[in-house]
Chain A
Amino acid sequence: MYPEDRRYSEEHEWLQVEGDLHVLGITQFAQEELGDVVFVELPEVGASVEAGGEIGSIESVKAVAELFSPVDGEIVEINDEIDDAPELVNEDPHGKGWLVKIRVEDASAVDELMDASAYTEFTSGSD
């Protein structure tokens, strides 16, 4: 169920290579846990982020979740459509619901994240 073309964090985010950048979003598991997303707070373009640091938050009708960067790097683009259509995070979390693009400082840090099968196993025990 989880795409093989990306890596996954324990905070239920995914990172996918796109040229010399990485696209970040939340996983299907995370959007199901949250329920209807009504507001996403994203960082500024140009902001530098560090692994484990908070870069924003996602508000659903019933809960709020913090968004953490799984890697060190710099925010180079944010998904502008999310502001008007936060439901994209629910409808297409692995596609149109992407959140930010990061210029990752050290790409090997991404390889240390889980692959699809490891993430599937990671989530199967925690529901």
Chain B
Amino acid sequence: MGETLRRTPLFAWHQRSGARLVDFAGWEMPVQFSGVIDEHNAVRTQAGLFDVSHMGELMVTGAGAQDFLQRMTPNDCSKLVDGQAHYSALLEEDGTFIDDLLVYRRGEDRFLLVVNASNCARDLAWLDDHRSADVVLEDQSDSYGLLALQGPRAAEILTDLGPAELADLRYYRFTELDFGFGDSIVSRTGYTGEDGFEVYVPAEHAESLWTALLETGESKGLKPAGLGARDTLRLEAGMLLSGQDMGGDTTPIEVGLDWIVKLKKGDFVGRDALVAQKRGGVKRCMIAFELDGRRPARPGSTIVDEGLEVGRVTSGTWSPSLERPIGLALVETGEERAWTPGEEIEVSVRGKSCHGVVVELPFVRKS
């Protein structure tokens, strides 16, 4: 470890709590508190609280902000209303991923982009290179802590601290308010497949919000949760991880994210390549699978078909909810190989052949 790891505003709390800390994308982050399975089950049945302050917050403002984002992302920003967010991406000209992100419309010419920690610097440079004079781009990542309160009891817990109306917030809607922890943004979003909220809170108030939520939520089963549970939860929910499931040389069409590609909205970076891919068909696609037995396939395990390697696992773990190994794989596809749900597959896991079956996403539906 040559480089100094970055720390979130909650680092001191994590350290005091005895959380297991790991290097994640250059950040010293809690991977687990009480244990991955325990935290996972808390989120599925009650609630969990995640520190995801490592995520990047980029403010895009100015008269040209919306046109700029329309050009830089494949989803249709003109469909967003104030107080609404959507999932989108940054793509290269050849249609391959730079990153995935959330776009929040705060006003006609004010947007917030939430990007992955691992790609934040690259995203910022890419956006800056393409921006016109009427667009202002600001990296406010250090100003915000980001807390994800997730689980069926999340609304109950949050409204203990904030106004009751927060419970009425619709999915992928957000509101800006100060409920005692400075000017915050509260959105009905998450990365677990459960109901929940993400709260962008001024960094200096992050710890007091964190401890206040844990205190009020304790009697409702709320537990602090780490990146380990975040990964098992998001995978069960069929959500992709940038830099692992996509990135490098994959496009949204290949990984099954066609729904964020709005070809009719007009030109955007990567559009020509994606149009060609839609017309010509993809040579690879993303599949979801479950395995027999208990041995999880890890990223890098291979999918084997009649002795030939036809794909690789991009995410794989033990599913605490299903109590069996699950995973995603990028596989060769064509007319002769459709990978329909129910089809049997063979995965080579560290030299051992494991039998499995192709399934539909998500692996687990909301409780």
Seen from chain A, the residues whose Cβ lies within 8 Å of a Cβ on chain B are 32, 35-36, 38-39, 41, 57, 59-62, 64, 86, 90
User: Which residues of B are found within 8 Å of A62, using beta-carbon distances?
Assistant: 31, 36, 228, 231, 317
Contact B232 A61 (CB under 8 A): yes
Bound-state CA distance A69–B167 (Å) is: 56
Contact A38 B318 (CB under 8 A): yes
For residue B134, give the distance in angstroms from its CB to the closest CB of chain A: 46
Determine if B37 is an interface residue (Cβ-Cβ < 8 Å).
Answer: yes
Given A36-B35, A36-B36, 17 extra CB contacts under 8 A: A35-B20, A35-B32, A36-B37, A36-B318, A38-B294, A38-B296, A39-B296, A57-B350, A60-B36, A60-B318, A61-B296, A61-B317, A61-B318, A61-B320, A62-B228, A64-B296, A64-B350
For residue B79, give the distance in angstroms from its CB to the closest CB of chain A: 38
Instruction: Tell me the nearest residue of chain A to B295, going by C-beta.
Output: A39
| 10 pairs of residues in contact across A and B, judged by CB atoms under 8 Å | A35-B20, A35-B32, A36-B35, A39-B293, A39-B296, A59-B318, A61-B320, A62-B231, A64-B296, A64-B350
Determine if B298 is an interface residue (Cβ-Cβ < 8 Å).
Answer: yes
Given contacts A61-B320, A62-B317, A64-B350, contact A35 B295 (CB under 8 A): no
**Interface-central residue, A32, A38, A59, A90, by most chain B CB under 10 Å:** A38
User: Which residues of B are found within 8 Å of A90, using beta-carbon distances?
Assistant: 35
Contact B35 A35 (CB under 8 A): yes
Bound-state CA distance A35–B295 (Å) is: 15
Given contacts A35-B32, A35-B35, contact A61 B228 (CB under 8 A): yes
Contact B295 A41 (CB under 8 A): yes
Contact B296 A59 (CB under 8 A): yes
Bound-state CA distance A60–B31 (Å) is: 13
